[in-house]
Each structure stands twice: as structure tokens, then as C-alpha cells.
Amino acid sequence: MKYQVYVIQNAEGRFYIGLSEDVAQRLSDHNRGVSKWTKSRGPWRLVWNSEAMTVGEAKKLESLLKKQKGGDGFYRMIGLRRSAGS
């Protein structure tokens, strides 16, 4: 199976980082309230996803992004500009 790491963002600018075999379905799940943490914080939009990789590679990348979240490294890794409020 191939997995992708993804980053979604809500209107308040909060991010959620995850991994999935089917990013489109997972985004739909987040917006339908299936995930506990994202349930009351949506709607969510996909802002970045990785290339397909093994589950081991995806877990390592997900962990790295989560460690960087909120920092300049996170924004550099996903290619987003940090907004003035961040």
C-alpha cells in the first residue's frame, strides 16, 4: 500500500497533519466529523500532500512535520507562507 502525508487547515488557520491511503476520502471524513480532534473545528481544506510512499516513510514524514508545526521549518517543508497572524 502507498500512503500520503497531508496537511489540512481550517478557517481559523489551524493545521492538522495526518497520513492516509486515500487523502480525498480522509478529508471528507474530517469534514463530516469522523475524527475526534477535527470534528468541531472545521470545515477543513487540503493545503498540502506528499507523494505516495511506504507506511514507514509516511510515519517518519508525519512525525517530522508535527515536530516542526508552528515553526519556520514546517512552512518551508510544505511550501506555504507564514501569515502575519502566525
pLDDT in tens, 10-33: 999 999 999 999 999 999 999 999
Question: Omega into 43 within 30° of 0, i.e. cis?
Answer: yes
Question: Residue 56 — very low, low, confident or very high, per pLDDT cuts 50/70/90?
Answer: very high
Percent of the chain with pLDDT over 70: 95
Can you tell me the distance from the alpha carbon of 56 to that of 81, in angstroms, rounded to the nearest whole number?
A: 28
- The answer to whether 2 and 16 are in contact (CB under 8 A) is no
Residue type, 25: Q
Q: Output the pTM of the full model.
A: 0.90
Domains of the chain, by residue range, sit at: 4-78
CATH 3.40.1440 fits 4-78, yes or no: yes
The stretch 43-65 carries a mean pLDDT of: 97
Contact criterion met (CB below 8 Å) for 14 and 39: no
- Single-letter code of the amino acid located at 14: R
